[in-house]
Structure 1
Amino acid sequence: MKRVVKIPFPSDLEILTPSHLGQAIKAARTQSGLTQEQAALFCGMSKQTYMGIEQGKDGTAIGSILEVAKHMGVALFVVPNHQRDKLKQQLSTLMVTSDET
């Protein structure tokens, strides 16, 4: 059986590219101890499609990407631009606090 190496979540909370979202999804998968094949099965898609999402490849339907994010426990939030910096600061503080407990 393949050994899954845990990858940490990206330190930057802002998702700006498909690749960055793919990194967050990969981190969630590895933190759960799932292989790509197991995650693809769990999400109801081919391993190729799942791998493309983790790699941030173009051409994958947004619905599929959002479904994978949901299944892997990666939450996405929509924040107005003028509130982004304040929210990032607050979330960073919360994450540091939860890591200490």
Structure 2
Amino acid sequence: MPKTIKPMPTPEQSGPLDAETLGKFIRARRTQSGLGIHEAAAFCGVAVDTLTKIETARGDVKLSSILTVCRMLGIRLMVEPWEG
């Protein structure tokens, strides 16, 4: 019997985005999509260890892997112009 995935709530964001908050957004999106960590890693084309590191903000992960996971899960990141 497959494990039931409990959807996590979408986190609140206040202030600049950091690794921990991005990880919470990714985990929320994955669980809301009904994907386990193994299924999501396979779908995104990354190792389970990589996805775990992204979601928990522990360890170094290549930016390209983070962007791939976001794109595959439908998370849109934006860069805002700065004044200067």
TM beyond 0.5? yes
- Partners of 1:15 and 1:70 in 2: how far apart? 20
Instruction: Tell me what 1:16 maps to.
Output: 17
Structure 1: gaps (5+ residues): 83-101
Corresponding position of 1:45: 46
Q: What TM-score comes out, normalization by structure 2 length?
A: 0.87
Does 2:3 align with 1:2?
yes
Identity of aligned residues (%): 37
Q: Which amino acid in structure 1 is aligned with residue 46 of structure 2? A: M
Q: Which residue of structure 2 aligns with residue 94 of structure 1?
A: none
Distance in 1 between residues matched to 2:16 and 2:76, nearest whole Å: 11
Change (3 A) 1:14 1:71: farther
| Poorly superposed stretches of 4+, deviation over 3 Å | none
**Deviation, structure 1 residue 15:** 5.0
Q: Residue type matched to 1:47 in 2?
A: V
- For residue 64 of structure 1, what is the aligned residue in structure 2? 65
TM-score, normalisation: structure 1:
0.74
Aligned pairs (5 A) from 1:16-35: 16-35=17-36
Distance between the aligned counterparts of 2:15 and 2:72, measured in 1?
20
Distance between the aligned counterparts of 2:20 and 2:12, measured in 1? Answer: 14
CA distance in 1, matches of 2:54, 2:24: 9
- Stretches of structure 2 lacking an aligned partner (at least 5 in a row): none
